[in-house]
């Protein structure tokens, strides 16, 4: 089964729901979740078929910290299980907030959360050398204690000491067929939460979990391929991809071909921080058959789709009829 009409996978970062420097209470996260729903509601009212993918970096980092604080009282949970847990409760927050917003706007479309598994290669290089920063900054004294326990702690691009964990590349979304069925009938599906729960295929046991996290933008691009979505919309805390970011001569690049975007990646222009993986996901999506990928500020989603905001990445050859 494939999707018909306009279809979009929307990716929202975990930081949008739990900003740095703020108490990560459920009340605060619900408030930010409600504030983040407007662009998705707008797309729903425009008739788009929608799947939503969310990040969970701050949340799963907090869960790891809870693990460590309570380790003398209860059994610690492995990282893969924490990804599943956060996908459940973040999905619940988005599902409830989005359903309420849709009903307030007069829409009868339904929202559902699907706990999703992302298939990875257990021999992925990241499994041997962790590449993904998660969680919040850690005090130097605590960081040293964690290092003594074999936990990877390094300074991120901003100089904050943070946990570094394996982040293998996803090669399949196990529940993509169910996502396709639900999205095709008009339901809005929250899937691949936190990038999906990383699993691998054991020859004897079948699916088994992995202590890792999957990049949510890469998972969103892959989900888009597997369900036949036409557009990938990555919503973030900046308004697009910039040339000379952080310098007085910084310039928003409103349109990039896949080759131009890949050139930015290959030359290291974007670094390995938050924007690099987003551009890489956009390139993978359009090189794999997607019509276009947009990177835009959180509340500029509809404007990004209209081509008036953000950065649009297109295949090197655009169909003669253009895009809707």
- Residue-wise pLDDT for 155-170, tens only, equals 987 888 988 899 999 9
Residue 77 placed within a domain: yes
CA distance 219 to 118: 8
Residue among 13, 14, 195, 196 flagged as catalytic: 14
Residue 133 placed within a domain: no
Positive or negative CA dihedral for 174, 192, 216, 163?
negative
Residues 6+ apart with CB under 8 A from 67: 76, 77, 82
Residue 318 placed within a domain: no
Q: Is the pLDDT at 247 greater than 80, yes or no?
A: no
14: annotated active-site residue: yes
Domain count, the chain: 1
216: annotated active-site residue: yes
Would you call 320 helix, strand, or coil by DSSP? coil
73: annotated active-site residue: no
Residues 6+ apart with CB under 8 A from 270: 241, 264, 276, 279
Minimal CA–CA distance to 57: which of 143, 132, 161? 132
Q: Pick the more confident residue, 281 or 143.
A: 281
Q: Is the pLDDT at 20 greater than 80, yes or no?
A: no
Residue 115 placed within a domain: yes
15: annotated active-site residue: yes
Q: Is the pLDDT at 97 greater than 90, yes or no?
A: yes
Tokens of residue 246, six digits: 């952080």
Residues 6+ apart with CB under 8 A from 138: 146, 153, 160, 161, 162, 163
Domain that holds residue 31: 7-119+170-229
Average pLDDT over all residues of the chain: 90
Residue 201 placed within a domain: yes
| Confidence (pLDDT) at 4 | 57
CA atoms within 13 A on the CB side of 131: 15
| Confidence (pLDDT) at 3 | 62
Q: What values do phi and psi take at 41, rounded to 5? A: -60, -45
| Confidence (pLDDT) at 5 | 65
Residue 139 placed within a domain: no
Residue among 13, 55, 57, 132 flagged as catalytic: 132
CA distance 94 to 226: 23
| Residue owning tokens 């500029």 | 300
In the chain, DSSP assigns E strands to: 7-12, 49-54, 111-113, 117-120, 132-134, 153-155, 161-165, 170-173, 188-190, 197-202, 206-209, 231-236, 242-243, 251-252, 255-257, 292-297, 311-314
Q: What values do phi and psi take at 175, rounded to 5? A: -100, 20
Q: In CATH, what number is assigned to the domain containing residue 39?
A: 3.40.1160.10
Average pLDDT of span 4-23 = 84
130: left (phi over 0), alpha (psi -120 to 50) or beta: beta
Tell me the pLDDT band of 14, cut-offs 50, 70 and 90: confident
DSSP strand pairing (197-202 vs 255-257): unpaired
Residue 137 placed within a domain: no
Residue 50 placed within a domain: yes
Query: Would the pTM of this model clear 0.85, i.e. be above it?
Result: yes
CA distance 12 to 217: 9
Average pLDDT of span 98-115 = 97
Strand order in the sheet with 153-155: 132-134, 161-165, 153-155
Residue among 55, 56, 278, 301 flagged as catalytic: 278
Other Cβ atoms less than 10 A from the Cβ of 269: the count is 15
160: annotated active-site residue: no
Q: Which residues, in sequence order, are bridge partners of residue 124?
A: none
Residue among 135, 193, 216, 304 flagged as catalytic: 216
Q: Is the pLDDT at 88 greater than 90, yes or no?
A: yes
Percent of the chain whose predicted confidence (pLDDT) is above 90 = 63
151: left (phi over 0), alpha (psi -120 to 50) or beta: beta
Q: Is the pLDDT at 308 greater than 60, yes or no?
A: yes
Q: Per residue in 49-78, pLDDT tens?
A: 999 999 998 899 889 888 878 878 998 899
| Confidence (pLDDT) at 188 | 98
| Confidence (pLDDT) at 268 | 75
């Amino acid at each position: 089964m494939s999707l018909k009409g306009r279809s979009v996978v929307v990716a929202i970062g975990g930081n949008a729901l739990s900003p740095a420097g703020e108490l990560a209470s459920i009340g605060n996260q619900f408030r930010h979740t409600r504030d983040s729903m407007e662009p998705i509601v707008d797309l729903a009212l425009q008739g788009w078929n929608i799947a939503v993918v969310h990040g969970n970096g701050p949340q799963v980092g907090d869960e790891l910290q809870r693990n460590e604080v309570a380790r003398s009282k209860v059994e610690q949970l492995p990282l893969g299980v924490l990804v599943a847990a956060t996908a459940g409760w973040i999905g619940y927050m988005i599902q409830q907030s989005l359903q309420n917003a849709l009903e307030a706007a007069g829409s009868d479309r339904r929202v559902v959360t699907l706990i999703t598994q992302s298939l990875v290669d257990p021999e992925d290089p990241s499994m041997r050398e962790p590449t993904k920063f998660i969680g919040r900054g850690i005090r130097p004294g605590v960081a040293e204690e964690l290092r003594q326990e074999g936990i990877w702690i390094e300074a991120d691009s901003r100089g904050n000491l943070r946990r570094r964990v394996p982040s293998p590349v996803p090669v399949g979304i196990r529940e993509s067929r169910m996502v396709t069925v639900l999205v095709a009938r008009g339901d809005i599906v929250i899937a691949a939460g936190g990038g999906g729960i990383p699993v691998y295929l054991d020859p004897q046991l079948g699916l088994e979990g992995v202590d890792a996290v999957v990049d949510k933008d890469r998972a969103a691009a892959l989900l888009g391929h597997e369900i036949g979505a036409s557009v990938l919309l990555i919503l973030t805390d900046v308004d697009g991809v910039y040339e000379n970011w952080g310098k007085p001569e910084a310039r928003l690049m409103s349109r990039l071909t896949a080759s131009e975007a890949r050139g930015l990646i290959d030359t290291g222009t974007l670094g390995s921080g938050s924007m690099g993986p987003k551009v890489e996901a956009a390139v993978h999506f359009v090189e794999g058959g997607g019509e276009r990928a947009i990177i835009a500020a959180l509340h500029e989603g509809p404007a990004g789709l209209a081509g008036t905001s953000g950065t649009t990445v297109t295949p090197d050859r655009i169909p003669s009829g253009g895009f809707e």
